[in-house]
Structure formats: C-alpha cells, structure tokens
Amino acid sequence: MARRISIAEEELVSLLKNKDQKGFNILYNNYSGALFGVINKIVQSDDDANDLLQDTFLKIWRNIDNYDSSKGSIFTWMMNIARNLSIDRVRSADFRDSSQNISMEQNIIYQVDTEHQTVMDVDSIGLRKVVDNLKPEYRQLIELVYYQGYTQAEVSEEYGIPLGTVKTRIKAAVGSLRAMLSGLWLIVNFLF
Amino acid sequence: MNIQEYIASGVLESYVLGLASAKEVAEVEQLAMQYPEIKLELRAIEDALESYAFANAQTPPAHLQSKIWEQIVAESEEKQTKVLDFDTGKEIDLTQQQAPKLTGFFGSYLRVAASVALLGSLLANIYFATQWKETKTNLSLAVNENIKLQKDIKSQEGMMQSSEVNLLMDPQIKMSKLVGQKGAENSTVMLAWDTKTNKVYVVRGNLPTPPAGMQYQLWAIIDDKPVDAGVFDIKNNTQELKKVPPAKAFAVTLEKQGGSPVPTSDIMVMGI
C-alpha cells in the first residue's frame, strides 16, 4: 500500500460526494489496507475478504451522502460499514457451511498471520510494534468489540464480568492504547 | 453535568465502538455539540482505534482497486439507463422490447398522423437550429468585441500608468501645481517640467469641460511675458506639450481650438 495521502477529511468527503474518481483513489489508497485488515480478521477467507472489500467500497460510494461528520470521523463510519458487512457474511448460512467448525473466539485468539495468504502492510510496521505491547486481555477486548462487533452483554458473558464493569474495562483498554500511541508519537518525533 | 465524570464513565468509548444504546447515542451526540471537551475526547478515542486498525492493516490484492472502480462505473451507468414500467414499477429491458404492431384502419391513420407530426417536427428543428446558430454567432461576436475592448482598456491604462509613474519617479522632473484663480477656484492642473530637456507635461487637468471649439492653453511666464507652451485636452492624462525654458510661473487660459499666439482670456489656474 502506498503511503497515506495527506488530505483534509472534509475535502475527501466533498470529493466523494461529487462522485470524483480522485476521491475514490485517495479513499482507496488511504483506507483499503486498514479496512482489509478488519475484514480479514472477521472472515478469515481470502475470497470472501476480496468480495467484502469490494462491497464495502461500493456501499461507501453509494451512501456517502448519509455520512454526517458531526457524528464521527469518516474512518469510524467506513469501519462500521466494513465490519457490519463482514459480520453479516460470517453469520449467513452459506458462510458457516464453508468454514468448518472454527469458533469465533478461536479465530481471534489463535489466529496466526503467517498461515494466512494476506500481506501485512509495510507502512504499519512501526504502529504494529507499539500496539503489540498492549496487554493481551486488552487487545482481545478491543478485537472482540471493535472488530467482531460483540455487544456489552456478550463481552460480559465472555469474560464472566458484570455488565456494569464492561464499560470501564473497555475504557481502560482504549486508554492503554491511547497512552501507547502518544508514546509512539514521541518516539517517531525523536527519531525522524 | 460534570463533564469529567461523564468522560470517565466510558460511555464515549462505547459510543465510538457502536456499543452504546439508542438513548446513550442521543445523549452523547447532544453533549458533543454542547461541550468541546467531549468532542475532543471522542476524536481522541476515534484516532486511537483508527491507529489500531492501521496497525493491523493488510495490503489487498493489487487488482482490486481497478476492479472496484469498474464496478462503481458500471453501477452508475446501469442506474442511468434503467427504465421502469409506469404501471408495474418493474424494470423494462429496452434491448428486448419490441414496438407493438399497428394494424387496420386506425393503425394506418396513426402512422400517417405520426409521419405528419414527424415532418412538422423536423421543419421546426431546422427553423430553430438556424435561429440558434444565428444567436450563437451574434453572441460570439459580442464576446470577441468585449474581449477586444477590455484589452484596449488594459493597454491604455498600462501606458498611462507607466508614463505617469516614470515622470513622478524621475529626479530631473520638477512637479508644480497650478491652482484655480478667481472664477475657477476649484480647478487645478498638475504640471511636470523636465529640467534637462525643458519639456513640459500636463499630468492631470482638473478643469471645467471647455465649450465646443475651445481648448485650454498653457503659458510659461518668462521675463514677465506669457510664452505659448501648447494646448491640451482635459480628458487625457499626461500630455507632452512644448519645450519651454525655465519659467517663473505657469498659467492656463481658455483659447480657441489649436491655441492663440497671445492669451485672450482670464487666467484659470496659475502656479510656480
């Protein structure tokens, strides 16, 4: 993946609303890797992931007028589209038939990327090293809710923790991530 | 409402992660508009999660980008050519559609009527096309004329400005202001006199419009006698007049077109 093209979000959104091909190219260049990573984590099948990435971009393109910047960033909105399409696919009948009895949790916990045909994005190596320092239980929590779309009730069941505690646990996980990332920016600024 | 407590509750994380209830969503959106701290916090959470997704980015197969774009193009073309049946609301496939056959007296009558209508329409087309062409020609003529005029104005302005500026910047130029005399108190004339070449210029003439057949004339007062320095037009700026030796003063009178050997009217403006 090429380096992210620096563009103001509003500018990108207005290019997309005008159905400008330049908008599509920037969108794809900047976000396809991150979205593809999310999709791959959920569906674990190259063919399905390719299909779903296509569906995701088509849906983004068709529904860009529904995107409301006051409610969140463009990435959060696109991420939700990619995630929901992927979860729908996983839960659909024919997907369950094709992928044998691997439980969702096993997928997440025991997933080894080298067994997978996909190529990790080279530009994200630095970021990944930082994120790798996240405590395993925090990482698992983030993946369950952010990638897999687990509800608070499902998390509560998964962890055996009271529903009321789920929110604070998630906050701690995100907070830990934020602390690491702010440390990362210090290191990046120091080195380059 | 205690904003710090609200932020600490973890509801903002739930919101960004899509875990919040409908009630919480409405509340967060409302508060984010009200409190910048909440908006900033939301953005920070989004950025952190976005970074997480970018940390786990994977490069999709190279051919996908063009494939998806082709799909987008195909979809938008399909949308444009889709024709829905008015009664059933179903899509009509135009490639399969055949015109219903018209038979019998009514059919041939319709065909004749259609031919007449078509002929009429063709004639009307020719008429309007001609009209349109003419209008277009006129328009482009007008546009060209406009462009030419604008160019003329620009070049004149440029010439005027540059000559004026050159005069003002030149150290060998002496400027003098002639002021209105009795009966023409509001009039002024700006003069420039070149100390080396002795040329005299009228830079600005703020004088009443002269009557037909009359023109303003500049006089150099040398040895207490008026010496003709040339006539000038108040509509033009920076006019070069005659060469005159160093003068004690300058004066302007209204004379007949082309000037007079001696002043014949009252002095309008004067100065040294």
Q: Which residue of A has its CA nearest to B69?
A: A24
Tally: H helices and E strands in chain B: 6, 11
Q: Do B57 and A40 touch (CB under 8 A)?
A: no
Please check the confidence at residue B244 and state whether its pLDDT lies above 80. yes
The pLDDT value recorded for residue A55 is 95
pLDDT of residue B253: 92
In chain A, positions 44-83, which contact chain B (CB-CB < 8 Å)? Answer: 49-50, 53-54, 57-58, 61-62, 70-73, 75-76, 79-80
pLDDT for A114 equals 40
Pairing of strands B188-194, B173-180: antiparallel
Chain B residues with beta carbon closer than 8 angstroms to that of A24 = 69, 72
Q: From the candidates A9, A70, A171, A184, which should be mutated to test the interface with B, based on the most B CB atoms within 10 A?
A: A171
Among B7, B16, B19, B21, the strongest candidate for a mutation testing the A interface, having the largest count of A CBs within 10 A, is B19
Q: Which pair of structure tokens corresponds to residue A187?
A: 């290191």
Taking every pair of C-alpha atoms in chain A, what is the biggest distance, in angstroms?
51
What pLDDT, in 10s, does the model give residues B17-34?
888 889 999 999 999 999
Q: Which of B40-49, B63-72, B263-272 has the lowest mean pLDDT?
A: B263-272
A 95-114 → B contacts, CB under 8 A: none
Instruction: Label residue A95 by pLDDT band (50, 70, 90).
Output: low
Kindly determine whether residue B59 and residue A73, on different chains, have CB atoms separated by under 8 Å.
no
Full DSSP string of B79-128: HHH-EE-TTT-PEE-TTT--PPPP-HHHHHHHHHHHHHHHHHHHHHHHHH
Q: Which of A36-50, A109-123, B177-191 has the lowest mean pLDDT?
A: A109-123
**Backbone φ, ψ for residue B203 (5° rounding):** -80, -50
| Cβ count near B171 (within 10 Å) | 6
Residue B224 CB: number of other CB atoms within 10 A? 7
Tell the burial category of B83 from Cβ atoms under 10 Å away from its Cβ (0-12, 13-18, 19+).
Answer: exposed
CA angle B21, A88, B23 (to 5 degrees): 10
**C-alpha torsion angle, residues A144, A146, A152, A154 (rounded to 10):** -30
Half-sphere exposure of B193 (CA within 13 A, CB side): 21
Q: Do B56 and A131 touch (CB under 8 A)?
A: yes
**B56 contacts in chain A (CB < 8 Å):** 34, 37-38, 41, 124, 128, 131
- Our CA angle for A114, A120, A122, nearest 5°, is 135
Shortest Cα distance, chain B CAs vs residue A93, angstroms = 25
Per-residue pLDDT, B87:
59
Pick the residue of B51, B75, B76 with the most A CBs within 10 A to test the interface with A by mutation. B51
Taking the complete model, does pTM exceed 0.80, yes or no? no
Other CB atoms within a 10 A radius of the CB of residue B201 amount to: 21
Q: What is the ipTM of this complex?
A: 0.82
What SS3 class is residue B243?
strand
pLDDT recorded at residue A109: 42
Q: So what's the pLDDT on residue A111? A: 43
Residue A3 has pLDDT above 80, yes or no: no
